[in-house]
Copies of this chain bind each other. A is one copy, B any other.
């Protein structure tokens, strides 16, 4: 069975669950042009999505992080280090990629439900 969380008339889901693992994606809700601010917002959305799916950040397996300017990675690291459950460190990879509009970050996370 596959579980999906999507808005009413969307052609995509923010989260899908299969085999007891959820995959979820988030961008920042604010488009303020600070990576640190956008990273905090995107991580908060991830956490909200995980709770909605019945899990929590302590159960994250992997985080794939795409930022628009790799030179600002230290700002993302600060947001991450404040946010992450240090007893359960996820696998993480961070890449520079071009993103839509004023998005400075997009995060794809998998977690055990």
Contact = CB atoms under 8 A, between A and B. Distances in A.
Given A95-B98, A98-B96, A62 B23 contact: yes
B93 A106 contact: yes
Protomer copies: 3
Nearest to A96: B98
B108 A64 contact: yes
Interface residues of A, number: 44
Given A19-B21, A93-B106, 16 more contacts: A2-B59, A2-B61, A11-B81, A11-B84, A11-B89, A11-B92, A12-B92, A18-B112, A23-B91, A25-B93, A66-B93, A94-B100, A95-B97, A96-B97, A96-B99, A97-B97
Interface of A: 2, 4, 6, 10-16, 18-21, 23-25, 59, 61-62, 64, 66, 70, 73, 80-81, 84, 86, 88-100, 106, 108, 112
